Chain A
Amino acid sequence: MSLSVALSHQFPGFTLEVNFTAPPGLTALFGKSGSGKTSVINAVAGLLHPDQGRITADNTTLLDTRAAINLPPHRRRLGYVFQDARLFPHLTVRQNLAYGRWFAGKTRNLKNGGPNFDDIIDLLGLNALLNRRPTALSGGEKSRVAIGRALLSNPALLLMDEPFAALDETRKAELLPYIEALRDQTQIPILYVSHALAEVARLATTIVVLDQGRTLRAGPATDLLADPDLAPSLGIRDAGAVLTATITAQNPDGLTQLHTHGGPIWLPKIAAAPGTKLRIRIAAQDVILSRQRPEGLSALNILQATITEIRLSDNGALIQLGLGPEHLLARITRRSAEALALSPGQTVFAIVKSVAAAQTDVGTR
């Protein structure tokens, strides 16, 4: 299933003009605060009626202002995980979870009975919470219940508006694997609003970049994250490409060996079997470039790559490196770029100082 969105809306002092297609997988709506992300997701949910627009999910037209079609939210068959959870305070967790499911049974055509209640409870670890009230839950628990409630309404599309914005890093780290599991184990497309690039880089298969109410770029996550032209909009400090890596061996010294298109790398132990595919993110500023294969260096992870693009700015340089079909970004000073006389087509060695790995079977789509 894929979702296509084209809409324009005039707010007082702000124009929203957005156009993108979200293929299956997780599509991240990325942008700064006030770029219009939540308005877009609200329009998809039917909570905002745009001046003009057309929103279709496969063969279902959710909105078409020209044809005067505007399905009310309860007929759109979507699950919306709000930033503030919005659990019903007068119902227990179990009743909250059952709420959407009950209406799914009434109005939404449940094929094979829809998602299995126990599966969702297990997936989100909700068993111990079922008889509690929302007021007795922590922020992370509320988020998990909200996700479960949305899933159990058997949505054809899942909308998530910064579901973890209110959580600290530890909680977030606990919950991200659940989202990854959703993306990989269910067939429901996810539209995910976020302003945290690290989160987007870890989760997204497709990225839509919004800037002041407009679609700046939309495309596969790996392409956009490795695009040096886009890096300034994403935030130059956070810029970094995503590579796929396959675990090849668990070494006795506690390191896990992985294969990438640029050669082997070693990471602190990752508890997964050889053959597992990982998605690893390498920040552009954590890459050092060398014209020769470095010798006598403590760094373990050195990838051989070919320079594909160079973007110079006032004092910095963004270098895009090709590793087979994938790309890596390196951010170095302009002085270094000139001193090394870097130019496209050259073979260089990228010394990688730090790697973030998502410890689930991700990035396989």
Chain B
Amino acid sequence: MPDWFTPADWFTPDEWRAVALSLRVSVWATLLSLPLGIYTAHLLARRDFWGKHILNGLVHLPLILPPVVTGYLLLLAFGRKGFIGQYLDQWFGLVLAFKWTGAVLAAAVMAFPLMVRAIRLAFEAVDPKLEQAAGTLGASPLWIFLTVTLPLILPGIIAGAVLAFAKAMGEFGATITFVSNIPGQTQTLPSAIYTFLQVPGGDSQAFRLVLISIAVAMLALILSEFLSRAVARRIKGT
């Protein structure tokens, strides 16, 4: 944090807890799902395999399902007694339900379709002929990916990451279902707004958080626009 920025001057402790948690959850959700997002986008854009339509459907499901359903399914799978959650607990001591880490998972799952779509479009825009050319110049498939494909899809990756981040910041339904609404633990910005709105006279506090939400969203969008333009310029060489 720079010197001039002291959260205490700007936010009440409760507000800041919600904002900081939302930022932390969204950053982790974006970063952790990025490698899998790139891999999935690659599979969908470039590979033909049995069950491709099923994978495509699964990836997009959270976009269409009511978020509360996704949250409930996460609870069934990753809850302390869930069929995945119990092993995570036994083997790694990792508990997701009702923890901020669970909020990361919920945000990542909800944001995943948006991320994959953006990156997939970028993959489809890369001319495979350039990758062939790299092969004839002695580059193995892994090197082709790292030196040709990856730099060319970078604007798409940034766009996908920013979309995912923005979606994660706004995620509410799945998060509140899976990890509830515990101040300082799992109470993200949208959950905090919801809480204030449930309390008589909480409107003004809710409104402050609404303004913060708008500011964060605008900042993210402007930053992403700037980044993807800069990268596109560098790649096109104009």
Query: Which A residues have a C-beta under 8 Å from some C-beta of B?
Result: 45-47, 72-74, 76-80, 82, 84, 86, 88-90, 92, 99-100, 103-104, 106-108, 133-136, 149-150, 153, 159
B21, chain A: closest CB distance, angstroms: 38
Query: Who on chain A is nearest to B231 by CB?
Result: A90
| Dominant secondary structure at the B interface | helix
Q: In this complex, what residue of A is CB-closest to B235?
A: A90
Q: In the complex, given contacts A45-B136, A80-B133, A88-B133, what are 19 additional A-B residue pairs having Cβ atoms less than 8 angstroms apart?
A: A47-B132, A72-B140, A74-B136, A74-B138, A77-B138, A79-B137, A84-B129, A86-B133, A89-B237, A90-B152, A90-B234, A99-B134, A100-B137, A103-B138, A108-B138, A135-B236, A149-B137, A150-B136, A153-B137
> Inside 8 A of B129's CB, which chain A residues have their CB?
82, 84, 86
A39: min CB distance to chain B, Å: 14
CB of B156 to closest CB in A, whole Å: 13
Tell me the minimal C-beta distance from A166 to chain B in angstroms. Answer: 14
Which of B129, B132, B237, B238 has the most chain A CB within a 10 Å cutoff?
B237
Which residues of the partner chain B approach A80 to less than 8 Å between Cβ atoms? 133, 136
Provide the residues of chain B in CB contact with A150, threshold 8 Å. 136-137
Quick check: B234 and A103 within 8 Å, CB to CB? no
Contact of B130 among A46, A88, A92 (CB under 8 A): A88
CA distance A245 to B94 in the complex (A): 85
Complex: how many Å from CA A220 to CA B141? Answer: 38
Binds A, one of B3-11, B143-151, B159-167: B143-151
From A45, A46, A88, A92, B148 is in contact (CB under 8 Å) with A88
Contacts of B235 in A (CB 8 A): 89-90
B137 to A: closest C-beta gap in Å: 4
Contact (A74, B237) CB under 8 Å given A88-B148, A89-B152, A103-B143: no
Known: A90-B152, A134-B237. A100 touches B138 (CB 8 A): yes
Asked whether A73 and B132 contact (CB < 8 A) given A99-B137, A104-B138, the answer is: yes
Residues of A within 8 A of B147 (CB): 99
Nearest-neighbor residue (CB-CB) of B127 within chain A: A86
Closest-by-CB residue of A relative to B130 is A86
Inter-chain CA distance A72–B139, complex, in Å, is 10
The contact size tier of chain B is 20 to 34
Contact A136 B139, beta carbon cutoff 8 Å:
no
- Name the contact of A82 in the complex, choosing from B133, B152, B236 (C-beta under 8 A): B133
B residues at A contact (CB < 8 Å): 127, 129-130, 132-141, 143, 147-148, 151-152, 234-238
Residue of A nearest to B137 (CB): A100
Min distance, Cβ A331 to any Cβ of chain B, angstroms: 41
Residues from chain B with Cβ under 8 Å of A78 in the complex: 136
**Residues of chain A within 8 A of B140, CB atoms compared:** 72, 74, 107
A233 → chain B closest CB, angstroms: 30
Residues of A within 8 A of B234 (CB): 90
Name A154's closest neighbour in chain B (CB-CB): B138
Given contacts A82-B129, A88-B148, contact A72 B236 (CB under 8 A): no
Residues of A within 8 A of B237 (CB): 89-90, 92, 133-136
Residue among A82, A88, A133, A135 with the most chain B CB within 10 A? Answer: A88
Do residues B238 and A133 form an inter-chain contact, with CB atoms below 8 A? Answer: yes
Residue of B nearest to A159 (CB): B136
State in angstroms the CA–CA spacing of A90 and B122 once bound together. 14
Find out whether the CB atom of A72 lies under 8 angstroms from the CB atom of B135.
yes
Question: With A84-B129, A99-B147, A103-B143 given, is the CB distance from A79 to B136 under 8 Å?
Answer: yes
B168 to nearest A CB, angstroms?
29
**Which of B137, B140, B148, B234 has most chain A Cβ within 10 Å?**
B137
Shortest CB distance A141–B (Å): 14
A60 shortest CB reach to chain B, Å: 15
- 29 example contacts (A-B, Cβ-Cβ < 8 A) are as follows A47-B132, A72-B141, A73-B132, A73-B135, A74-B137, A74-B138, A74-B139, A74-B143, A76-B136, A82-B133, A86-B130, A88-B130, A88-B133, A88-B134, A88-B148, A89-B237, A90-B152, A90-B234, A99-B134, A99-B139, A99-B147, A103-B138, A103-B143, A107-B138, A133-B238, A135-B237, A149-B137, A153-B138, A159-B136
